[in-house]
Amino acid sequence: MKFFRLDSSIRIEDSVSRSLADLVEAEWARVHPDAEFVRRDLGRRPLPAIWPVAEASRATEEHARTDEQRAATAFAAELTDELLACDAYLLAVPIYNFGVPQQVKHWIDLIITDPRAADVGRRILPDRPAVLVEARGGGYAPGTPRAGWDHATPYMHRMLADVWGLDVVTVRAELTAADVNPAMAELRPLAHRLLAEARDRATDQARTIADRLRAAPKPRTPTAA
């Protein structure tokens, strides 16, 4: 059994998305103590800015590629290998400036340059379970002043579920900036309640997925191109 974990918060300490992801990982490790975890931390170790090179390589015959293009292609293949080799997925994605962190977009774009993932009409991870952990500093629910400003969640579900085919559940904490933003002081009780609910949901969803995998492990797609 292999689990994939992606972190993307630029905060290492006191990161809400990381703490919620830790709960999911702990539950998976409890149910599957012999499982392997494949980790990619875009916050601690940002990807090299090579997407333009990898993208250009797609339109270049192999014999004509530069060494830089070959290196970018090999790195995109490594990222794709990590995905294809796993049985379930955990992606911790905070919302920055109303969208996904740039490193998450870059990670997805690089993977799509790999020939195995280039056809966005063919799902490379059909029906494999995934937990998307989100942390939102503000509130974006219907009826709030910023309703409709969340451009991260629709994008992530489009890519993870519609393009890659993952069976995605979302664990979300809102108003996470309340404790540090004086203007949000009156929202702190609500923020604490929402975080507690998110923690419970993280554990519950992780347990459901872990049990599902234990009952009927899914075969993985070969990593060869």
Q: For the whole model, what pTM was predicted?
A: 0.92
Give the model confidence (pLDDT) of 102-140 as tens digits: 999 999 999 999 999 999 999 999 999 999 999 999 999
Average the pLDDT over each of 20-24, 77-81, 219-223 and give the range with the smallest value: 219-223
**What residues pair up with 169 in beta bridges, in sequence order?**
131
Contact criterion met (CB below 8 Å) for 69 and 53: yes
| Percent of residues, the chain, with pLDDT higher than 70 | 96
DSSP element (H, E) containing 16: helix 16-31
Instruction: Calculate the average pLDDT of the chain.
Output: 94
CA distance 88 to 22: 15
Confidence band for 215, pLDDT divided at 50, 70 and 90: confident
Superfamily classification of domain 2-215: Flavodoxin domain (3.40.50.360)
Phi, psi torsion values for 41, nearest 5 degrees: -110, 100
Q: Where are the domains of the chain?
A: 2-215
Higher pLDDT, 81 or 220: 81
Give the model confidence (pLDDT) of 38-55 as tens digits: 999 999 999 999 999 999
Phi, psi torsion values for 131, nearest 5 degrees: -115, 120
Q: What sign has the CA pseudo-torsion 128, 129, 133, 134?
A: positive
